[in-house]
Amino acid sequence: MREIETIIIGGGVAGLGCARSLSDAGNNNFLVVTKDIVGSIPESKDTNVNLGAYYIQSSYHNFLPYVDIRRRIRLHEGIWLGEEGERAVFDLRNLPHVWVYVRFMLWLRKFHRHHEELKRRTATESLRSALEKDPFLQQLYNQPGAKFVRDHHLEYWSRHFMNQVSRALGFVDVSEITGFIFCLGMLTIVYPMYEFDYQVDRLVRPFKKKILMDEVIRIKRQGDQWQVTSVSGKSFMSRNLVVATPTDTACALLKIEHERNTVARAFSAHLRGTVKANLDGDRYVFLSQRSGDLALARQDDGTFVFYSHRRDYDLSDYFDDYEVISTRAWDPAFYLGSHILDEDRGNNCYVVGGHNITFIENALISGQFAAHKILQQASLQ
Ligand SMILES: Cc1cc2nc3c(=O)[nH]c(=O)nc-3n(C[C@H](O)[C@H](O)[C@H](O)COP(=O)(O)OP(=O)(O)OC[C@H]3O[C@@H](n4cnc5c(N)ncnc54)[C@H](O)[C@@H]3O)c2cc1C
């Protein structure tokens, strides 16, 4: 049985972000055990198209060094299909509501400042503790999205646009998320967002040899060590343990009873085909709630990525003819809500990732938090 100071389970941005921070600090006695090294950010075989996480924001300062920007996403390049039919961003019917929109955009700048400070704090302290220091964000974290929309008089914008953004980015309606998640998603209307090419090699370069492709099936506490067993029969002992897998796996491996949040699920397809004439021309199509489908995005190589709530979606609703290249079920994709899964589980064990704030940047920072705790402990010895 091999003894290692730190075992990191999971090769998404959280696990790799933790490994990168340890490696950058010269703490190299670690091993990443993972089923893959892309997690929720897979690309098509030719790496031209993102098939999972799709966009980043200009404020993803921690993640930006590991991407090449593909193109800016502009929301006016969209067809917006709502409950009451199609509505364009530059529609005269929006005019009476512009003031509310402008006021909200200004308000989002305040939210952005608070969130940037939260990101800075959560690199070295738990989310719960960081939120306690910021009542403005804490209140939003616990507030239902629908109430936030009402309080800010955003009903019109939510009905025609924002709910579609929420569905396209988070796979759920505004009524199912918190004010905090709503605002994080809506930052995309104030600050630039981009399609990107994940350069995972750039992230793992300093510690590539410390990645073991395997699946962890059991974690046990043995004295003051963690014993980690993989499906291929390998066993490791470690002082520190970082579990950076999706929420369900982390809770099952560590036997954590966690109050689950709203489950966000989606079924996606990558395809080529001839889109119906009424949907042709624009880059993105935000699909109506009634359809049970979520969004359609045209790619530079002429293919499309389609997301639906329905496992049995029907592509002939949108295409005259098509050929499916690949499909994927994201079930669950992630959880959204106000129950916090504490990152520090005691006994040098950390659960990190997108459990509490489901965005790439925040997941990466939670990995940095685990690394910070491990380095802090090491400096005390
Ligand atoms: C479909 C989808 C679309 C999204 N879109 C966006 C977006 O556009 N923008 C954005 O900012 N965020 C988006 N998100 C959220 C964001 O991608 C995630 O919050 C973030 O990538 C999570 O990173 P992670 O490292 O916590 O987990 P993951 O990326 O899920 O990685 C988990 C890792 O654990 C490994 N693993 C799992 N089980 C085991 C095991 N038993 N043993 C070993 N390894 C294991 C997996 O192989 C994987 O490498 C999206 C998420 C999904 C699912």
For ligand 1, atom 41, which residue shows the shortest CA distance? 216
pLDDT of residue 113: 98
Q: Residue 351 is which amino acid? A: V
Residue 381 above 80 pLDDT?
Answer: no
Q: Using CA positions, which residue lies closest to atom 44 of ligand 1?
A: 34
Residue 282 CA to ligand 1 centre (angstroms): 29
Tokens in use for 202? 């750039």
d(CA 292, CA 304): 18
Residue range 306-354, pLDDT digits in tens: 999 999 999 999 999 999 999 999 999 999 999 999 999 999 999 999 9
The number of the ligand 1 atom at minimal distance from the alpha carbon of 366 is: 26
- Enumerate residues lining ligand 1, CB below 6 A: 9-15, 33-36, 39-41, 52-55, 215-216, 244-246, 249, 266, 330, 333-334, 353-354, 358-360, 363
Task: At 85, list the tokens.
Answer: 């039919």
Find the 91 Cα to ligand 1 centroid distance in Å.
Answer: 37
Q: How far is the C-alpha of 170 from the C-alpha of 224, rounded, in Å?
A: 40
Structure token pair of residue 7 = 């075992």
Which residues, 6+ apart, have CB-to-CB distance to 180 below 8 Å?
Answer: 137, 140, 141, 143, 338, 357
The answer to whether 352 and 308 have CB atoms below 8 angstroms apart is: no
Tell me what pLDDT residue 76 has: 85
Number of Cα atoms under 13 Å in the Cβ half of residue 217? 7
Atom of ligand 1 nearest to the CA of 307: 1
Among 198-202, 229-233, 336-340, the minimum mean pLDDT is found in 336-340
pLDDT bracket for residue 281 (50, 70, 90): confident
Assess contact for 229 and 223: CB atoms under 8 A: no
Q: What's the DSSP call for residue 287?
A: P
Q: Could you tell me the pTM of the whole model?
A: 0.96
All structural domains of the chain with their residue ranges: 2-46+198-261+342-380, 95-191
CA distance 328 to 330: 6
Residue 39 CA to ligand 1 center (angstroms) comes to 4
- C-alpha dihedral over 42, 45, 46, 52, to 10 degrees? -20
pLDDT tens profile 105-144: 999 999 999 999 999 999 999 999 999 999 999 999 999 9
The residue whose C-alpha atom lies closest to atom 7 belonging to ligand 1 is 53
Q: What SS3 state is found at 302?
A: coil
In this predicted structure, what is the pLDDT of residue 262? 87
Distance separating alpha carbons of residues 196 and 64, to the nearest angstrom: 9
Residue 7: its pLDDT value, please? 98
Q: pLDDT grade, residue 46 (50/70/90)?
A: confident
Residue 41 Cα to ligand 1 midpoint, Å, equals: 7
Across the range 213-232, mean pLDDT stands at 97
Per-position DSSP letters for 141-188, written without gaps between them: HHSBHHHHHHHTT-HHHIIIIIHHHHHHHHSS-GGGSBHHHHHHHHGG
Q: Identify the residue whose tokens are 């967002």.
A: 193
Rounded Cα gap, residues 1 and 251, in angstroms: 25
- Write out the two tokens for 88: 């364009």
Give me the phi and psi of 163, to 5 degrees please. Answer: -65, -35
pLDDT tens for 67-102 read 999 999 998 888 988 878 888 888 899 999 999 999
Average of pLDDT values for 255-278?
Answer: 92
- Between the CA of 246 and the centroid of ligand 1 the distance, in Å, is 6
CA distance 120 to 130: 9
Provide the CATH topology of domain 2-46+198-261+342-380: FAD/NAD(P)-binding domain (3.50.50)
Which pLDDT does position 296 carry in this prediction?
96
pLDDT of residue 266: 96
Atom 14 of ligand 1, nearest CA residue: 53
Alpha carbon distance 296, 323 (integer Å): 15
Nearest CA residue ID for atom 53, ligand 1: 333
Q: Give 12 Cα–ligand 1 centroid separation in angstroms.
A: 5
**Confidence (pLDDT) at 111:** 98
- Mean of per-residue pLDDT scores for the chain: 95
Evaluate whether 271 touches 306 at the Cβ level (below 8 Å): yes
**Mean pLDDT within 352-359:** 95
Calpha distance 142→136 (Å, rounded) = 11
Element (H, E) at 132: helix 127-132
Judge whether residue 290 has pLDDT over 90: no
Question: Tokens 């079924």 correspond to what residue?
Answer: 267
In the chain, the percentage of residues whose pLDDT exceeds 90 is 85
